[in-house]
Amino acid sequence: MDPERTLDLNPKPAKAEKPAEKPAPKSEAPKIEPTLGPRPKAETRAFKPETAADAWLGLMAARGIDYLFANGGTDFAPVVEAYAKGQKLGWRLPQIVIVPHENMGIAMAHGYAMVTGKPQAMMVHVGVGTANAINGLINASRQNIPILFTAGRTPITESGALPAARNNYIHWAQEHFDQGGMLREFVKWDYELRHAEQVETVIDRALAISKSEPQGPVYVTLPREVLASDFSTPYSEKATIAPATPPAADPEALEEAAKLLSAARSPLLITANGGRNAETSRAIEQLAQAMAVPVIHYRPRYLALSTEHPMHCGWDPHTMLKAADVVLVVDCDVPWIPKEGQPRPEAKVIHIGPDPLFARYPLRGFRTDLALTGAVAPTLQALWRSAQKQAVSPKHIEERRKTVSDLSKAIREKARGGVTPMPSSITGKWLSACMNKLLDANTILVNEYPTVLEEMTIKEPGRYFGNPSAGGLGWGMGAALGAKLASPDKTVICAVGDGAYMFGNPTAVHFVSEAMRLPMLFVIANNARWAAVHRSTLATYPKGAASESKQPPFATLEPSPRFEHVIQASGGHGERVSEPKELMPALERALKVVKEEKRQALVNVCLEVSYVKTS
């Protein structure tokens, strides 16, 4: 086995000493020593599984699963016993992360995989636990995040000599005719383990499918009797099934795309997921710089270019679509909103990605003149190399580069205006401008809706992660915890709206932050509204009755909870801010707690509330 896998992947941070002159207030939660899950041991003993549960845990670790996010139930008995046995015998096992709610747990696995590219495992309690996690699984599915998602299954046998047969009244009511059916639309593959000898094949097949492009979650159900059954099958220390190689674009189609790009007078590149990894970011930057192609990040989940890059032309494609003659849609499910604008009839539209047509979307009618199926980085690299071989005028490229660079600068200057002088009440733009001052090259920002990207300065790839395209609320805080688990030396800031904070199972999130020693900063943009609901209504009925309502139906979240108190129950720092002049000092105090005291912190920022449409 790989000796590196025996290292402690998440060492405890040094415990900061509090200054004696600042005793904790009486209202502060009592100091509790965090309880950590078992960690990989420096030395491991020979792995000799006796049950299917033994084999399942040990082979997951051998296949590179660092963490098992778990929310247990009566179906876990063989797994609990196997884990205790493995600890006693010194087996190499995944580290357990206890997640008190399935939705935040799947978000945490999502966050770890999105930062590292390595799928992790999660196990929940039969169908009810599966149901609680479906929101997060939809997010992972639409974002192509690989996760090995597993659940116990109600015992099959009603009585008899089997020790794992039904022995609790809930075992009858919790059984499903088809447990996997509730999520089959959003996983790449699902299966029920039927015999102990299948353990290795099922794990290897699940991980290989999950990691093959387009990546995504897979689901395995684990009946209690099978987990408890004897295991005597020979197994391999290495995976027996490799992921499929990434797709590669058809050479003729690639050549056609290169000719279109080289002949373009006003090309445009639109992406949402293009900065998924450093290689893809470099490929987009190379093409954009070499061919002088402006880049729009539309509703980005990752950033491909630095916000300061001269080819970065903002966040909305609709204005530039009017002039574009060739549009490169790079790993982007929704490149424009048809009601707001579309490419010109004579323009050519090229979609690029491992699944350029997003085949799992029921309806998606964006014009496609050419679809290149291929991993993004090598496809773009091949495209710009081929395009440069065409008869392209260097003078024309230089002129376009100057024009785009000037436009990029003008867009930034215009978008970042309006934050001075200090506003009379805290706006989302003011909050974002203040948050931007906290960022450095060692900071990861996880954003679930509220951040105004025009105000952010983010120069390096892998520092920004936006909410998934499916928009399943409650993703941000769990994903940020997963990002922190994957990058313990990074400062992680999570920006959420007040609605998203409540969806995110905050008690569970703050528990895990304390228990796993994962200090991070949570910033709540609190407008006491589900703003998306109200904005959608205004867009549909701009002069309707709801536009005149001071408390829009279905969108009002008043009275607003004292969110700053929730984090205090888990030993964190929390404060509430409502005045613009108080915001920056509060953010700096909170970040100091995170960095120096190694405690989690939260700032509940009360934004101005817009009741009526003003334009």
SS (H, E, C) 444-458: EEEEECCCCHHHCCC
pLDDT digit string, tens, across residues 333-371:
999 999 999 999 999 999 999 999 999 999 999 999 999
Residues 516, 108: Cα–Cα separation, whole Å: 12
Q: Annotate 274-289 with DSSP letters as a single string.
A: TTSSHHHHHHHHHHHH
Residues 401, 309: Cα–Cα separation, whole Å: 12
- Tell me if 317 sits within 8 A of 268, measured CB to CB: yes
> What is the per-residue pLDDT for 155?
87
Q: Where are the alpha helices (DSSP H) in 317-361?
A: 318-321
- The rounded percent of the chain whose pLDDT value lies above 90 is 79
Instruction: Name which of 497, 569, 483, 487 is nearest 527 in CA terms.
Output: 497
pLDDT digit string, tens, across residues 569-591:
999 999 999 999 999 999 999 99
Over residues 396-423, mean pLDDT:
91
% helix, strand, coil for the chain, step of 5: 40, 15, 45
Residues 230, 51: Cα–Cα separation, whole Å: 4
> What is the per-residue pLDDT for 449?
86
Please provide the average confidence, as pLDDT, over all residues in the chain.
Answer: 90
Looking up tokens 């492009």 gives 213
- The rounded percent of the chain whose pLDDT value lies above 70 is 91
Cβ contacts of 559-565, under 8 Å, gap ≥ 24: 559/528, 560/498, 560/526, 560/528, 560/606, 561/502, 562/604, 563/498, 563/501, 563/506, 563/524, 563/526, 563/602, 563/604, 564/602, 564/603, 564/604
Q: Is the pLDDT of residue 3 over 80?
A: no
pLDDT digit string, tens, across residues 60-108:
999 999 999 999 998 999 999 999 999 999 999 999 999 999 999 999 9
pLDDT digit string, tens, across residues 67-79:
999 999 989 999 9
- Tell me if 55 sits within 8 A of 199, measured CB to CB: yes
For helices 251-263 and 376-388, the axis angle rounded to 10 degrees is 60
* Token pair in block for residue 490: 């990074």
Q: Which residues pair with 373 in a beta bridge?
A: 353
Confidence band of 608 (pLDDT split at 50, 70, 90): confident
> What is the per-residue pLDDT for 547?
85
Q: Is the pLDDT of residue 5 over 70?
A: no
Over residues 241-262, mean pLDDT:
96
- Tell me if 454 sits within 8 A of 416, measured CB to CB: yes
> What is the per-residue pLDDT for 314?
96
> What is the per-residue pLDDT for 615?
36
Give Cα 331 to chain centroid, integer Å.
16
> What is the per-residue pLDDT for 610?
59
Instruction: Name which of 582, 476, 489 is nearest 523 in CA terms.
Output: 476
> What is the per-residue pLDDT for 406?
97
Pairing of strands 267-271, 326-330: parallel
Q: Is the pLDDT of residue 10 over 80?
A: no
Over residues 514-531, mean pLDDT:
93
Over residues 388-412, mean pLDDT:
91
> What is the per-residue pLDDT for 1?
34
* Token pair in block for residue 133: 């996690």
For helices 102-116 and 506-515, the axis angle rounded to 10 degrees is 60
Q: Is the pLDDT of residue 391 over 80?
A: no
Pairing of strands 120-124, 147-153: parallel
pLDDT digit string, tens, across residues 435-492:
999 999 999 999 998 899 999 999 999 999 999 999 999 999 999 999 999 999 999 9
- Tell me if 520 sits within 8 A of 474, measured CB to CB: no
Domains of the chain in start order, with CATH, are: 3-228 (3.40.50.970), 251-415 (3.40.50.1220), 428-606 (3.40.50.970)
pTM exceeds cut of 0.85: yes
Sheet strand arrangement including 601-606: 464-466, 443-448, 491-497, 521-526, 601-606, 573-577
* Token pair in block for residue 432: 């974002």
Lowest average pLDDT, out of 14-28, 130-144, 381-395, goes to 14-28
> What is the per-residue pLDDT for 44?
55
